[in-house]
């Protein structure tokens, strides 16, 4: 596991953010993946102009929101444990990783009418990887008790960003088929490809902070 990133320079982050925003274009949200950013360093992101952050762990999200809450819009992008959904719902704009029936059950019990989620799809049908199977997506969306705003995916790891293109393209096709607008796909490694294939949210970590 990578270590925590310390000594962040707001000026450098701002320059990276502006470059990414310019290249991504209108309509693409830049989500700062803050998994490896300590709570005390989050102020550098705010100073740099970051407005949207994504957290992977509930306990980290709560600690950072307690100190920096109004400075950011918060999304949850990590592996979603259904038993934690009740606590997550009031703290985030979007849950990016809904993909199990147990999550749907908890959403039905605890979510309000304003709750919006993204369904995580296992586009590449990777064994042991989270996400709804492509062939099960329609039924899963039908069962969802809250608004499905879009889809998300994490393609198989590769050192060649172009290898992710067919997976991003397929997710975009699925979103279009179901009339969904949000597409959360692409990370520091392959986000330009994701944008070309229709991403509306890209998750940027090291590229933003380096």
Domains and CATH numbers, the chain: 10-209 (3.20.20.10)
Q: How many Cβ atoms sit within 10 Å of the Cβ of residue 26?
A: 5
Beta carbons within 8 Å of 191's beta carbon, 6+ residues apart: 20, 24, 199, 202, 203, 204, 207
Q: What token pair was written down for 99?
A: 């993909």
pLDDT tops 70 at residue 2? no
Q: Can you tell me the distance from the alpha carbon of 117 to that of 126, in angstroms, rounded to the nearest whole number?
A: 22
Mean pLDDT for 101-117 is 96
Long-range contacts at 71-78 (CB < 8 A, ≥ 24 apart): 71/42, 71/43, 71/46, 72/42, 72/45, 72/46, 75/31, 77/31, 77/33, 77/152, 77/184, 77/203, 78/35
- DSSP state letter for 205: S
Q: Do the Cβ atoms of 110 and 145 come closer than 8 Å?
A: no
Confidence of residue 113 (pLDDT cuts 50, 70, 90): confident
Place of tokens 């102020």: 43
Supply the pLDDT for residue 1: 43
Taking the model in full, what pTM does it have? 0.96
Q: Can you tell me the distance from the alpha carbon of 202 to that of 66, in angstroms, rounded to the nearest whole number?
A: 25
pLDDT tops 50 at residue 90? yes
Q: Measure the CA angle with vertex 135, ends 188 and 146; round to 5°.
A: 75
Segment 24-48, tens digit of pLDDT = 999 999 999 999 999 999 999 999 9
CA-based torsion, 113, 201, 182, 97: positive or negative: negative
């Amino acid at each position: 596991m990578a270590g925590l990133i310390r000594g962040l320079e707001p000026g450098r982050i701002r320059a990276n953010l502006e470059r990414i925003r310019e290249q991504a274009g209108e309509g693409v949200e830049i989500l700062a993946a803050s998994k490896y950013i300590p709570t005390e360093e989050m102020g550098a992101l705010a100073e740099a102009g970051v407005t949207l952050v994504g957290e992977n762990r509930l306990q980290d999200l709560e600690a950072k929101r307690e100190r920096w809450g109004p400075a950011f819009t918060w999304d949850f992008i990590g592996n979603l444990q259904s038993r934690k959904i009740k606590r997550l719902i009031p703290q985030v704009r979007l849950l990016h990783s809904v993909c199990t029936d147990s999550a749907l059950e908890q959403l039905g019990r605890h979510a309000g009418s304003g709750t919006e989620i993204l369904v995580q799809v296992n586009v590449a049908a990777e064994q042991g990887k989270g996400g709804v199977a492509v062939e099960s997506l329609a039924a899963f969306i039908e069962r969802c008790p809250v608004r499905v705003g879009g889809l998300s995916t994490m393609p198989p790891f590769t050192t060649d960003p172009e290898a992710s293109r067919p997976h991003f393209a397929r997710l975009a096709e699925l979103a279009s088929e179901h009339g969904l607008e949000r597409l959360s796909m692409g990370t520091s490694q392959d986000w330009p490809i994701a944008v070309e294939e229709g991403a509306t949210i890209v998750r940027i970590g090291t590229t933003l902070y380096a």
